[in-house]
Amino acid sequence: MIRFVCAAVAVAGAAVPVFAAGSACTWVTGNEEHQPPDVKRPAYLVPYVDDMSGLTVTRVGGDLGTAIPNVGGTWQDEPRHHYQNTSRTWNADGSWLYLQWRSNLMLDGRTYQPLFKPQNMPANFWWHPTNPKLALAQSGNSLVRYYPETGTSETIRTFSDYALGSDQIRFSDDGRYVGLAGTKNGTNYMFVYDIETDTKYPDIDITGRAFSACLSATGKYIVSPYGKTEIIYDRDGTEVGTYDCMKHNDFTVDANGDDVMVGVRNCDPNSQDVVAVRLRDQHETFLTDGGVPNHVSARNFQKPGWVAASYDRQWAAGAEPYRGEVVLAKLDGSKSIRRIVHTHSYRTEYRAETHPNLSPDGTRVIFASSWDAQDGLIHSYVVELCKEDVTGAGDIAGRVDAARSARSLLRDQKVEIFAPNGKMIHQGSLSLRATGEVPAGVYIVRVPGQSQVRSVWCCGVRRLNQDSQD
């Protein structure tokens, strides 16, 4: 049960909960199983409210065969984000969102309207961590800077002695280092390259292993998958240690700034728990208890501390309590869980797995869903998260200020307001009221004739338009 402490705006006798933009909300925690309702797939770009968390969710891919707005062409059957836990979704400031699979489509990262189809987009790329217009990529045997708006590239360095081929290129979180895998004289190697100083570090022989190079968040370590074992090296090629039985992992830093690898442990003991492994000494920190997690994302490099984990829905015994959900797990080992969305997805194939991906600033999560396998179509959905870990709205003066702030966003506009059950409860203008009790829930406010949608909820007013990130 979610508890709301809300300021209010009076609308023809009905009170709607409002907070100032960027304020806080109550997260859903606990380990009770929540059964999702049997509902139809949400319409394209029409926000809905998750029944469990009260968070606003938007489907960002259109219906099969319909026209793609602003760009032209038609939507294909799987308009979704990339299915690896790599930085291929949001750019540095969240202003762009890239749908790669069956799409090659750049969306506005806040309104989710299609913007353009990038030309000559490299398959293996990583958004630059600070320049939102730039991606870093592998193209042939070269490392390049790629500019999606123009479709142009400039070479950083060509590795002429290698046939580069890793499909899991990874850069450090500051964009300075990259891990590359390539074949030279018939032998497979991985190595670290420092873009800033144009320094190539020593080759590491990966013959007989996965042809990939998994760089850590700081670039200090590089990991080679070998069956169920991860072999950890420093960037000079010295083996640091090994870790057995991890799948679907990502990389981030802990509260002390140490590199950690986070994924799902798939061997006893602690099988099916999310675990963070400190790379320098392989110390384990278990983040979850119970359920059957599948994929983990730590792409929130601008605000680390939590990771997103998806839980499959079709598992039977032992899948409780997070069956069919995406949750946030705290990295400190406290086993704090924030339950953010029901995915409504059955895993009919690999691309139907939810593959959550956190935005760089940690305020949103994108996931894929086949929506109860109604017709086999797969789409991506974006969840807008609470901004801070704070509950309640403070005293009455604070609530009045919050209401005034929200009122200013909608001044002199006629609006339509929809209750949590989807029923329209008001058409017309708003009038300010200082206090009032309102039903717990999340309300959608829409300005007729405009594409803007505002979700008014326990956590603040989210303005999903191009000139605001609140």
Task: At 380, list the tokens.
Answer: 């991506």
- Could you read off the pLDDT of 120-174 as tens digits, one per residue? 988 788 999 999 999 999 889 999 999 999 999 999 999 999 999 866 678 999 9
Within 10 A of 376 (CB to CB), how many other CB atoms are there? 13
* The pLDDT of residue 8 is above 70: no
Residue 169 vs residue 236, higher pLDDT: 236
Beta strands (DSSP E) in 195-292 are 199-200, 204-205, 214-215, 221-226, 229-234, 239-244, 246-253, 259-265, 274-278, 284-286
* The pLDDT of residue 406 is above 70: no
Distance between CA atoms of 26 and 29, rounded to whole angstroms?
9
Task: Answer for the pair 90, 127: CB distance below 8 angstroms, yes or no.
Answer: yes
Fold annotation for 48-384? Methylamine Dehydrogenase; Chain H (2.130.10)
Q: Which of 18-27, 159-168, 209-218 has the lowest mean pLDDT?
A: 18-27
Collapse the DSSP code of 415 into the 3-class scheme (helix H, G, I; strand E, B; otherwise coil) and give the result. strand
What is the per-residue pLDDT for 36?
85
Distance between CA atoms of 57 and 47, rounded to whole angstroms?
5
**Exposure string over 415-432, b if 16+ CB within 10 A, otherwise e:** bebbbbeeeeebeeebee
The residues of the chain that CATH labels 2.130.10.10 are 48-384
What is the per-residue pLDDT for 466?
31
Arithmetic mean of pLDDT, 51-76: 93
Distance between CA atoms of 422 and 439, rounded to whole angstroms?
14
Collapse the DSSP code of 50 into the 3-class scheme (helix H, G, I; strand E, B; otherwise coil) and give the result. coil
* The pLDDT of residue 179 is above 60: yes
Distance between CA atoms of 459 and 230, rounded to whole angstroms?
40
Shortest CA distance to 362 belongs to which of 288, 293, 306, 295? 306
Angle at 273 (CA atoms; ends 52, 310), nearest 5 degrees: 40
What is the per-residue pLDDT for 351?
72
Q: Which residues, 6+ apart, have CB-to-CB distance to 211 below 8 Å?
A: 165, 166, 181, 188
Q: Could you tell me what percent of the chain has a pLDDT over 70?
A: 73
Shortest CA distance to 439 belongs to which of 121, 90, 1? 1
What is the per-residue pLDDT for 25?
65
Distance between CA atoms of 137 and 125, rounded to whole angstroms?
4
- Could you read off the pLDDT of 252-281 as tens digits, one per residue? 999 999 999 999 998 888 888 999 999 999
Distance between CA atoms of 338 and 372, rounded to whole angstroms?
23
Distance between CA atoms of 294 and 263, rounded to whole angstroms?
9
Task: Answer for the pair 38, 424: CB distance below 8 angstroms, yes or no.
Answer: no
- Could you read off the pLDDT of 437-453 as tens digits, one per residue? 344 344 456 666 554 44
